[in-house]
Amino acid sequence: MVRMSEEIIKKENSLPVITAHAEGDGIAVGYADSFAPTVNLFLPDGGKTTSNPDHFNLIIGYDPFPSDHILVDPKRALTEFISDDVKERFSGWTPEKIAEIKKLPAIISCERDRTDGQQAVFAFIRDVKVQDNGIKVYFQKYFPIPFSFLSEHLSDLAMHLFELTRTHWTIKKIDLLEVMHEAGLFPGR
């Protein structure tokens, strides 16, 4: 059972703000000037974790549609088009760093092929396994996005022009969900 308490705060020349506190797994908000929800990820093992909206995985050069995993060349995984502080935070393949990577939204796509209708995919990484033949990245696809979103928002996504034609996996210190929302791809945020 969820117990809620409500507090109404009235300010001069403004609408009332309702703050609702809940014990349990959810909350219902009747009115708010602004609302910043926590995005919870439901994992395949039945667990739940919060996402990290401040960064995102960008994986270019791999077709995300035929399978739920890809094999990334270790020489191209978190080694290029990545800032030094982000590289230090996420590189190393320790269980703790992999757990943090799994909290980041992802875009996965083939390299630019200059055809109309090329698609990328919005996803979350489910698991990362370091193997002798490469880094196996398992992911959960959520929905396709037009490849044109990437090329039209290079600056917003902190991407370099050549990243679209270079096979690599990087992490960007950008709120991907905000950029997608502003571009009309991720409504409701």
Q: What is the pLDDT of residue 136?
A: 98
Instruction: Indicate whether 152 pLDDT > 60.
Output: yes
- Could you tell me if 7 and 55 lie in one domain? no
Instruction: Indicate whether 4 pLDDT > 90.
Output: no
- Could you tell me if 82 and 133 lie in one domain? yes
- Could you tell me if 149 and 98 lie in one domain? yes
- Could you tell me if 168 and 141 lie in one domain? yes
At residue 173, what is the residue type? K
pTM equals 0.75
Length of the chain: 189
- Could you tell me if 150 and 57 lie in one domain? yes
- Work out the angle at residue 40's Cα, subtended by the Cα atoms of residues 36 and 43, and round it to the nearest 5 degrees: 165
> Whole domain around residue 52: which residue ranges?
48-182
Task: Please give the tally of structural domains in the chain.
Answer: 2
Q: What is the pLDDT of residue 6?
A: 39
pLDDT tens digit sequence for 63-119 = 999 999 999 999 999 999 999 999 999 999 999 999 999 999 999 999 998 877 899
Are 121 and 144 in contact, with CB atoms under 8 Å apart?
A: yes
Instruction: Indicate whether 20 pLDDT > 60.
Output: no
Domain presence at residue 153: yes
Cα 148 from Cα 171, distance rounded (Å): 20
